[in-house]
Chain A
Amino acid sequence: MTRTVKNLTLKVWRQNGPDDKGHFETHVIDSITDEASFLEMLDVLNERLIDENKEAIVFDHDCREGICGTCSLMINGQAHGPQRATTTCQLHLRSFNDNDTIVIEPWRASAFPIIKDLMVDRAAFDRIVESGGFITSPTGGAPDANLIPVPKPVADAAMDAAACIGCGACVAACPNSAANLFVGAKITHLNLLPQGQAERYKRAEAMVDEMDEHFGSCTNHGECSAACPKEISLDVIALMNKDYRSAKFKNRKQLSRK
Chain B
Amino acid sequence: MSTATPSRQPVTGTAAAPRTRRPLLLDLYGTAVGKKYAMAISGIALMGFVLFHMIGNTKMYLGAVELNEYAEFLKKLLYPLAPKESVLWILRAGLLGMLALHLHAAWSLTVLNRHARSVRYQSARDYQEASLASRSMRLSGIVVLLFIVWHLLDLTFGVVNTVGADGEFVRSEVYANVVRSFERWPVALFYVVANLLLGLHLTHGAWSIFQSLGWNNPRFNAWRTAFARGFAAVVVIGNISFPIAVTIGIVSV
* Closest B residue by C-beta to A199: B12
**Does any Cβ of B come within 8 Å of A194's Cβ?**
no
* Closest A residue by C-beta to B124: A77
Given contacts A223-B128, A241-B211, A258-B7, whether A218 and B32 have CB atoms under 8 Å apart is yes
A221-237 with Cβ < 8 A to chain B: 221-223, 225-227, 234-235, 237
Given contacts A216-B113, A220-B207, A241-B212, whether A208 and B33 have CB atoms under 8 Å apart is yes
Stretch at the interface among A48-56, A57-65, A171-179: A171-179
**Does any Cβ of A come within 8 Å of B222's Cβ?**
no
- What per-residue 1/0 map shows which CB atoms of B206-221 lie under 8 Å from chain A? 0110111111100001
A131 cross-chain contacts in B, Cβ below 8 A: 14-16
Partner of B120, one of A108, A215, A218, A244: A108
B182 cross-chain contacts in A, Cβ below 8 A: none
- Is the pair B135, A221 in contact by a Cβ cutoff of 8 Å? yes
**Does any Cβ of A come within 8 Å of B123's Cβ?**
yes
- Is the pair A110, B118 in contact by a Cβ cutoff of 8 Å? yes
**Does any Cβ of B come within 8 Å of A71's Cβ?**
no
* Closest B residue by C-beta to A129: B14
B112 cross-chain contacts in A, Cβ below 8 A: 216-217
- Is the pair B14, A175 in contact by a Cβ cutoff of 8 Å? no
- What per-residue 1/0 map shows which CB atoms of A148-177 lie under 8 Å from chain B? 000000000000000000000000010111
CA distance A22 to B122 in the complex (A): 10
* Closest B residue by C-beta to A234: B211
CA distance A130 to B15 in the complex (A): 7
**Does any Cβ of B come within 8 Å of A245's Cβ?**
yes
Given contacts A217-B112, A238-B210, A238-B214, whether A222 and B129 have CB atoms under 8 Å apart is yes
**Does any Cβ of B come within 8 Å of A252's Cβ?**
yes
Given contacts A221-B134, A221-B135, whether A103 and B211 have CB atoms under 8 Å apart is no
- Is the pair A136, B12 in contact by a Cβ cutoff of 8 Å? yes
B27 cross-chain contacts in A, Cβ below 8 A: 248
Instruction: Report A221 CB to chain B, min CB distance, Å.
Output: 4
B11 cross-chain contacts in A, Cβ below 8 A: 136
A222 cross-chain contacts in B, Cβ below 8 A: 128-130, 134
**Does any Cβ of B come within 8 Å of A41's Cβ?**
no
Partner of B116, one of A109, A237, A244: A109
Number of interface residues of A (CB under 8 A): 63
A100-130 with Cβ < 8 A to chain B: 103, 105, 108-111, 130
B215 cross-chain contacts in A, Cβ below 8 A: 238, 242
Given contacts A248-B24, A252-B24, whether A215 and B116 have CB atoms under 8 Å apart is yes
* Closest B residue by C-beta to A224: B129
CA distance A144 to B98 in the complex (A): 54
- What per-residue 1/0 map shows which CB atoms of A68-80 lie under 8 Å from chain B? 0000001011100
- What per-residue 1/0 map shows which CB atoms of B59-85 lie under 8 Å from chain A? 000000000000000000000000000
B213 cross-chain contacts in A, Cβ below 8 A: 241-242, 245
B12 cross-chain contacts in A, Cβ below 8 A: 134, 136, 199
- Is the pair A239, B129 in contact by a Cβ cutoff of 8 Å? no
B1-38 with Cβ < 8 A to chain A: 7, 10-12, 14-16, 18-19, 21, 24, 27-28, 31-37
Given contacts A110-B118, A239-B216, A245-B214, whether A77 and B37 have CB atoms under 8 Å apart is no
A215 cross-chain contacts in B, Cβ below 8 A: 116
CA distance A206 to B16 in the complex (A): 7
B201 cross-chain contacts in A, Cβ below 8 A: none
CA distance A110 to B212 in the complex (A): 24
Partner of B128, one of A227, A245, A248: A227
A238 cross-chain contacts in B, Cβ below 8 A: 210-211, 214-216
- Is the pair B120, A176 in contact by a Cβ cutoff of 8 Å? no
Known: A108-B120, A176-B117, A221-B130. 6 other contacts (CB 8 A): A77-B126, A173-B128, A202-B15, A208-B31, A217-B35, A241-B37
Q: Supply 17 A–B pairs (Cβ within 8 Å), ascending by A.
A: A77-B123, A103-B124, A110-B116, A132-B15, A134-B14, A209-B31, A212-B33, A216-B117, A217-B36, A218-B212, A219-B137, A222-B134, A238-B211, A242-B216, A243-B214, A244-B31, A244-B33
Query: Nearest 5 CB-CB pairs, A to B?
Result: A242-B214, A216-B116, A238-B216, A77-B126, A222-B129
